[in-house]
Amino acid sequence: MIEFNIPYRSQNEEIFLKQAIQSGCLSADGDFVKKCEHWFKKNYKCKHVFMTHSCTGALEMAALCIDIHPGDEVIVPSFTHISTANAFVLRGAKIVFADILPETMCIDAADAESKISPNTKAIVAVHYGGYAADLNRLSEICNKHSLFLIEDAAHSIGAKLNGKYLGTIGDIGCLSFHETKNIHCGEGGALLLNNETLLEKAEQIYEKGSNRSAFLKKEVEEYTWTSEGSSFSMNNLSAAYLYSQLRELEITNSYRLEVWNWYYEELKVLIENKKIFQLPPLPEKETIFNAHIFFLKCQDSNTANAILAHLNARDISAHRHFPPLHKSPFGQHFRSIDCPISESEYPKLIRLPMHTGIKKADIKFIARNLAEFLSE
């Protein structure tokens, strides 16, 4: 069986877990949580980092930080994970779905701009599969209309645009360390705060709606209830596991890129004559790609179904991704809106196995099976 994902294992997880247990502090006050924060501050050059229990948690915290209220509109790509939208729905926002670009499957900035209304408060950009959304254009749009730009960088650990890490460019960036991601701690996330004006608020929200952060900095004598907030933090055990993984980020990402390139080279020759499926776009030169996903675009939905069945029958685990949210049962509660590219591209997309346990022989086996499909 060629698994779709095998969560990455790094060298020091067990040692660091033992140290975390022996430290006697398993909460978010533990040393490994601080080590993870420092890792991001140093490597990501990000001043304010909040380690969270998930990317969902980071997105929910973002919605509180930008003060979403009932009646506010938030523009979200239809082709994304449920949490990208739900985090804002929980605060009473109306979701306005934007369409995507067919190549990278990232938000179409022009479509997002056309959907801005006087009630719009934020645009959420998802960097699908580690491809950078058009943050240059989206930043211009958000500045022009005084909107917050939130980056859902769940897929993009280690990926960059114009020398800056994805997640550090918008007002807030949200990362995921779920075990399906390039590096992980089972469930985990981080909120990168790039807009200084939100700092005081973010600290209170993160500390369950209190000024505990000011108390820890000895700015107040005791702490008390000062704002809305919740429990978003990562515990020290998860942080110990994650810290070991963060130290190997370059190893993981460069191996995944190798796997991505093997796929590309093996499959390129297959489709020279038969255009039954297309390869994913090559990453733009101003980006550093993290090869989170390798996807194919089939000529139509029936072909995608047939390829999925063919691969799965041969013990190759391949999957679809993200049915468009605007067509989902819950998404239909919001204003009916057209996202034709999300609708037409989603059924054609299939994701192939991608993890650091994959060997070149596995890629050759997958390519042989796709060749067999094409010859039938």
Ligand X SMILES: Cc1ncc(COP(=O)(O)O)c(C=O)c1O
**154 binds ligand X per the rule CB under 6 A:** yes
Task: Output 2 or 76, the one with its CB closest to ligand X.
Answer: 76
Between the CA of residue 154 and those of 31, 178, 183, 199, 220, what are the distances in Å? 24, 9, 11, 21, 35
Task: Output 96 or 126, the one with its CB closest to ligand X.
Answer: 126
- Choose one: 2-10, 150-158, 215-223, 250-258; the region binding ligand X (CB under 6 A): 150-158
> Side chain identity at 363, as an amino acid letter?
I
**152 binds ligand X per the rule CB under 6 A:** yes
Between the CA of residue 248 and those of 37, 51, 92, 127, 255, what are the distances in Å? 16, 18, 39, 22, 11
**Per-residue x/- mask for ligand X, residues 119 to 138, rule CB under 6 A?**
-------x------------
Q: Comparing C-alpha atoms, which of 237, 211, 214 is closest to residue 224?
A: 211
Please state at what angle helix 236-246 crosses helix 13-23, rounded to 10 degrees. Answer: 150
Task: Output 155 or 256, the one with its CB closest to ligand X.
Answer: 155
Minimum CB separation of residue 29 from ligand X in Å reads 22
Minimum CB separation of residue 56 from ligand X in Å reads 3
Task: Output 124 or 367, the one with its CB closest to ligand X.
Answer: 124
Minimum CB separation of residue 75 from ligand X in Å reads 15
**84 binds ligand X per the rule CB under 6 A:** yes
Task: Output 173 or 189, the one with its CB closest to ligand X.
Answer: 189
- In degrees and rounded to multiples of 5, residue 122 shows phi and psi of -155, 155
User: Rounded to an integer, what distance in angstroms lies between the CA atom of residue 305 and that of residue 320?
Assistant: 9
- Choose one: 18-26, 147-155, 245-253, 345-353; the region binding ligand X (CB under 6 A): 147-155
Task: Output 157 or 370, the one with its CB closest to ligand X.
Answer: 157
Q: Pick the binder of ligand X from 78, 80, 226, 356 (CB under 6 A).
A: 80
- Choose one: 81-89, 132-140, 156-164, 357-365; the region binding ligand X (CB under 6 A): 81-89
User: Rounded to an integer, what distance in angstroms lies between the CA atom of residue 132 and that of residue 289?
Assistant: 8
The CA dihedral of 345, 346, 352, 353, to the nearest 10 degrees, is 150
**319 binds ligand X per the rule CB under 6 A:** no
- Choose one: 53-61, 203-211, 344-352, 358-366; the region binding ligand X (CB under 6 A): 53-61
Task: Output 3 or 179, the one with its CB closest to ligand X.
Answer: 179
Task: Output 55 or 95, the one with its CB closest to ligand X.
Answer: 55
**211 binds ligand X per the rule CB under 6 A:** no
**83 binds ligand X per the rule CB under 6 A:** yes
- In degrees and rounded to multiples of 5, residue 200 shows phi and psi of -60, -45
Task: Output 182 or 236, the one with its CB closest to ligand X.
Answer: 182
- Choose one: 50-58, 102-110, 199-207, 292-300; the region binding ligand X (CB under 6 A): 50-58
**60 binds ligand X per the rule CB under 6 A:** no
Count of residues in contact with ligand X, rule CB under 6 A: 14
**192 binds ligand X per the rule CB under 6 A:** no
275-304: which residues touch ligand X (CB under 6 A)?
A: none
User: Rounded to an integer, what distance in angstroms lies between the CA atom of residue 306 and that of residue 375?
Assistant: 13
- Choose one: 40-48, 54-62, 64-72, 343-351; the region binding ligand X (CB under 6 A): 54-62
- In degrees and rounded to multiples of 5, residue 176 shows phi and psi of -120, 140
**56 binds ligand X per the rule CB under 6 A:** yes
Which residues contact ligand X by CB under 6 A?
A: 54-56, 80-81, 83-84, 126, 152, 154-155, 176, 178, 189
